[in-house]
Structure 1
Amino acid sequence: MRLLSAMLSLTLLAVACTAGAAPLPAPRQVDIPATGLTLHAQLYKPDGDGPFPTVIALHSCGGLSGQSEPVLLRYRDWAEQLLKTGHAVLLPDSYGSRELDPQCGVKERRVLARRERVADINASRQWLQQQPWVARDRISLMGWASGASALLWAVRPQLSPRGAGPDFRSAIAFYPDCRISSGLGWSARVPTLLLIGADDDVSSPSACRQMVDGARGRSALARIVVYPGAAHDFDRANLPLRAIAGVDAALPERGHIGTDADARKDSRQRATEWLAR
């Protein structure tokens, strides 16, 4: 009888804990007018009327969605984190909107970070500026890998967005490829945080450090954090470190990827603090 009572108590406790954990709401697809196409995006928004600070989140070369899910787990994970801090999250689908599959291993890419993806970023900003639930002066950018590379182009002073409304509030770039930007005298017009692993052999931590160091004195606040021992995709949950075989079109062609628990935890805290500035 005591054993049965104990089991019942544990069951009730588990049910209570499950009931108390609010699941991530399903995203809502929105259609954004853009040059030459309709840009499809997935939107996570807190309950209520706002206005909410909002993050435009930019997917990597693997794309935004999976075969049966509109938003991959890695981005749902971040959306949940951002919703907890009161942010809405808009995830434009640069590939799906153009009926393209993942672009990691594509040699002749039709969607370039410095061109189409910057256009998608600016179209997303213009759309958000028209939404009554958006805090128009608190629209920020966050991107991963190729999405982070697009972010670096989008925040350059030469590419200040047209149209009414305040500029982006801030930007956070996870492990972009800085090799082109570092040779072009990169600088930012909005506060920009770059997070990358020291052992990232997909991107180039040394090029990113050179790029940020070279911008000092002629840029808005730009900071870089290099995590010792961390590889590409360090912020993804439950991803064992492994070498890339080069056969998955949704993954980079070379290098290593994997979770780094310490870097993941620290990056989430830093991102929260950066967006709260």
Structure 2
Amino acid sequence: MRLPSLVIALTLLAAILPARAASLPPPQAVEIPSGTTTLHAQLFKPEGNGPFPVVIALHGCGGLGGHSEPVQVRYRDWAEELLKDGKAVLFPDSYGSRELGPQCRVRERRVTARRERVTDILAARQWLIQQSWAARDRISLMGWANGASALLWAVRPQLLLHRAEPDFRSAVAFYPDCRLSSGLGWSARVPTLVLIGAKDDVSSPPACRQMVEGAHGRSALTRIVVYPSAYHDFDRPNLPVQAIGPNPDAADPEKGHVGTDAEARADSQKRVAEWLAR
């Protein structure tokens, strides 16, 4: 008697999942000049002519795409949230553009957060301000892990954009590695929000707190939220908390724990919407 119930449940699930996927339009592949590199990116854009606020979204060390998709589900999930708020989302592919796979366990990285990825951020912004559908005064940054670390470098006052165009509107960094930035007296020239779990043993919550607290009084608005029970990747949908195994996937960190924290995930969605609405 259990089999028919299972069949019914699977049928209902199959009916629900395509409907959810259909709610998010497929991304548009775009090419962006970035120094000597052509930066490949995926663009999610609301219908209409705009101008729309835009979020430049920066993938982690696992890369942007999956085995058979240009944008991993974890990033598509955020794209859907941002599109609901009327924002376009541009995902530069810093690794795929250079014919590189995941970089989580690469010792000598050819693409670093503080150099090549910052160059990609600036190239993406320069491309966006030339697009008629983009609101050039409402371009924000959002990044995860290695992408969040790149974001921290991109918003430093030392990188002040000496152009007539408006600067980035704001920035949101999910669980960056703050250890180097905190030691260098980091500060930001645009409002920056850091979100990290207290149990994150991949990044360093104490270093992020020290970095943000040290910037007070000599920085644009900075805030940090530390979620008490959350690990690395807490905003990733449907990922049970787990330790990285002895033979981790190439797209996983070398060690530590990863997994969804439903409460922190829901709170972060609310906070991101409020921060980007400034």
TM-score range, shorter chain: over 0.9
Which residue identity is paired with 2:160? S
2:269 aligned partner: 268
Judged with a 3 Å threshold, the aligned counterparts in structure 2 of structure 1 residues 249 and 133 are, in CA distance, closer, same or farther, namely same
2:135 alignment partner AA: A
Residue 100 of structure 1: aligned partner: 100
Shift of 1:21: 8.7
- Following TM superposition, by how much is the alpha carbon of 1:162 offset from its aligned partner in structure 2, in angstroms? 4.5
2:274 and 2:202 mapped to 1: Cα distance?
A: 27
Distance 1:241 1:16 in 2: 25
Contact 1:146 1:177 in 2 (8 A): yes
- One-letter code aligned to 1:230: A
How many angstroms apart in 2 are the aligned matches of 1:275 and 1:67? 31
- After TM superposition, list the pairs within 5 Å mapping 1:114-153 onto structure 2: 114-153=114-153
Matches within 5 A, 1:47-66: 47-66=47-66
SS at match of 1:42: strand
Partner deviation per Cα, 1:173-202 (whole Å, 9 max, x = no partner): 000000000000000000000000000000
Moved more, 33-42 or 245-254: 245-254
Name the CA distance, whole Å, in 1 between partners of 2:208 and 2:230. 15
Post-superposition Cα deviations, 1:186-232, rounded to whole Å, max 9, x if no partner, equal 00000000000000000000000000000000000000000001000
Q: 1:70 is matched with which residue?
A: 70
The structure-2 alpha-carbon separation of the partners of 1:31 and 1:251, relative to structure 1 and needing over 3 Å to count, comes to: same
Task: Return the index of the structure with the highest Cα Rg.
Answer: 1
User: What is the rounded CA distance, in whole Å, between the counterparts of 1:68 and 1:16 in structure 2?
Assistant: 21
Distance in 2, matches of 1:17 and 1:231, equals: 27
Separation in 1 of the partners of 2:100 and 2:181? 26
- The Cα RMSD (Å) is 1.9
1:18: how far off? 7.7
Amino acid at match of 1:73: V
What SS does the corresponding residue of 1:30 show, helix, strand or coil?
strand
Matches within 5 A, 1:218-229: 218-229=218-229
Percent sequence identity over aligned pairs = 74
Q: Tell me the SS of whatever aligns to 1:77.
A: helix
Q: How does 1:19-34 map to 2 (within 5 A)?
A: 23-34=23-34
Cα distance between partner residues in 2 of 1:21 and 1:235: 19
Q: Which runs of 5+ in 1 are unaligned?
A: 1-10
How big is the shift at 1:157? 0.2
- Partner of residue 252, structure 2: 251
TM-score when scaled to structure 2? 0.92
| In 1, Cα distance between equivalents of 2:38 and 2:153 | 22
Aligned-residue offset at 1:247? 2.6
**Aligned mates of 1:100, 1:18 — CA distance in 2:** 31
Alpha-carbon displacement from aligned partner over 1:117-149 (angstroms, at most 9, x marks no partner): 000000000000000000110000000000000
Residue number in structure 2 paired with 1:242: 242
8 Å Cα contact 1:122/1:161 also seen in 2: no
Q: How far did 1:17 drift?
A: 11
Displacement after TM superposition at 1:161 (Å): 2.9
Gaps of 5+ in 2: 1-10
Q: Report the alpha carbon displacement of residue 171 of structure 1 after superposing the two structures with TM.
A: 0.0
CA distance in 1, matches of 2:90, 2:78: 11
